């Protein structure tokens, strides 16, 4: 399908939106993850049938959308409100009142859940691809999302690798350093770098489109006496994911309209995992981050178990969900296993 680009002023910011398919097609809204952009959906869009109306916005501070401050105290609702404002744009969805299927990857999965909570009558279904836990990223110890410390130490803006952020800001494209954006794309976003194929440069461009700084990625942080010495701040992307600001499990279970949910994940994901290499508690357990106070005080976050427990509650409250686990797949099933991902989306549609 031909991919067209629109610029829409919505929710007070200029948003770039990729659009494909006929105006009267079945609406599907694609929400990208952290350190990427709507271009991350391009390989998938090429594989989808022309009966779908595909709308893929760049979130604020990514791709071609305006670099606007991210108020982390609102959690991922700060992004969900931007996306919700697009639902009423005739250039994107025509004059009908759309009820799109939401497809959210990683952080975008949390945005999709937040959009459902805020606008339950505007959503036909959710496909969550390697989504962040409904209890946020890091800093919780069990399936109920119990905080590890009162200030959620070890989460938020201070957890980003400083060298990666520096290289991201400099738009480095090389492979000399383990923390270069290209190497992170090859080793963290996917399980097998060969799955990037001829789209590697497009996807790297998408990663490098990330705006950096305290108001965007990664955000600010606060000092704390709790291990590992930093707690979430109130600005920037990683703080929107911190459980201090993003804890939506109860709201998701209680939502008045419960569309079907499909959860797709890879069993080789190193980002959203019960053994996440981006969870400081797990890195402490491995000895990578010094001073770890032990499993009783600071266990790794059971991200997969938390999501399954919340979706079980969602189903018990009248909703439904399906979990699809792709063996050998990493954090980007839409890139790594496109055939299975397309089938899951078309089943949901």
Task: List pLDDT tens digits, range 168-226.
Answer: 999 999 999 999 999 999 999 999 999 999 999 999 999 999 999 999 999 999 999 99
- What fold is seen in the domain 4-348? Rossmann fold (3.40.50)
- The ranges assigned to domains in the chain are 4-348
Contacts within 8 Å (CB) and 24+ apart, 169-175: 169/212, 171/208, 173/204, 173/208
Confidence (pTM): 0.98
Per the CB < 8 A criterion, the answer to whether 320 and 262 are in contact is no
- Tokens 């009820």 belong to which residue? 99
Per the CB < 8 A criterion, the answer to whether 282 and 221 are in contact is no
Cα(147)–Cα(336) distance, rounded to whole angstroms?
33
pLDDT under 70: residue ranges of the chain: 95-96
The pLDDT of residue 98 is: 83
- Tokens 């357990």 belong to which residue? 285
Burial (CB count <10 Å: 0-12, 13-18, 19+), residue 154: buried
Cα(70)–Cα(79) distance, rounded to whole angstroms?
8
The pLDDT of residue 95 is: 66
Cα(92)–Cα(17) distance, rounded to whole angstroms?
8
User: Pairing between strand 4-10 and 26-31?
Assistant: unpaired
The pLDDT of residue 135 is: 98
Per the CB < 8 A criterion, the answer to whether 142 and 302 are in contact is yes
């Amino acid at each position: 399908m031909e991919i067209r680009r629109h610029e829409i002023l919505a929710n007070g910011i200029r948003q770039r939106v990729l659009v494909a398919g006929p105006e009267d097609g079945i609406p599907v809204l694609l929400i990208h993850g952290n350190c990427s952009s709507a271009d991350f959906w391009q390989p998938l869009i090429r594989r989808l049938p022309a009966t779908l109306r595909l709308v893929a916005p760049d979130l604020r501070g990514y791709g071609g959308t305006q670099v606007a401050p991210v108020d982390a105290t609102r959690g991922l609702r700060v992004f969900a409100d931007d996306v919700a404002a697009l639902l009423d744009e005739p250039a994107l969805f025509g004059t009908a009142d759309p009820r799109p299927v939401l497809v959210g990857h990683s952080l975008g999965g949390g945005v999709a859940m937040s959009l459902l909570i805020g606008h339950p009558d505007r959503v036909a279904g959710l496909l969550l691809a390697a989504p962040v836990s409904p209890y946020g990223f890091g800093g919780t110890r069990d399936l109920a999302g119990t905080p590890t410390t009162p200030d959620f130490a070890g989460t938020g803006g201070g957890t980003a690798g400083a060298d990666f952020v520096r290289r991201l800001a400099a738009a480095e494209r090389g492979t000399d350093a383990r923390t270069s954006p290209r190497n992170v794309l090859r080793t963290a976003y996917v399980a097998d770098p060969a799955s990037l194929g001829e789209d590697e440069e497009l996807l790297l461009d998408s990663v490098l489109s990330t705006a950096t700084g305290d108001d965007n990625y990664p955000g600010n942080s606060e000092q704390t006496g709790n291990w590992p010495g930093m707690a979430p701040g109130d600005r920037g992307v990683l703080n929107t994911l911190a459980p201090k600001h993003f804890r939506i499990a109860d709201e998701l279970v209680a939502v008045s309209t419960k569309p079907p949910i499909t959860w797709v994940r890879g069993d080789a994901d190193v980002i959203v995992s019960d053994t996440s290499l981006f969870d400081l508690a797990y890195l402490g357990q491995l000895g990578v981050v010094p001073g770890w106070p032990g499993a009783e005080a600071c266990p790794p976050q059971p991200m997969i178990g938390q999501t399954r427990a919340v979706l079980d509650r969602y189903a018990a409250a009248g909703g439904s969900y399906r979990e699809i686990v792709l063996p050998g797949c990493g954090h980007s099933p839409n890139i790594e296993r496109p055939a299975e991902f397309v089938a899951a989306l078309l089943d949901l549609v």
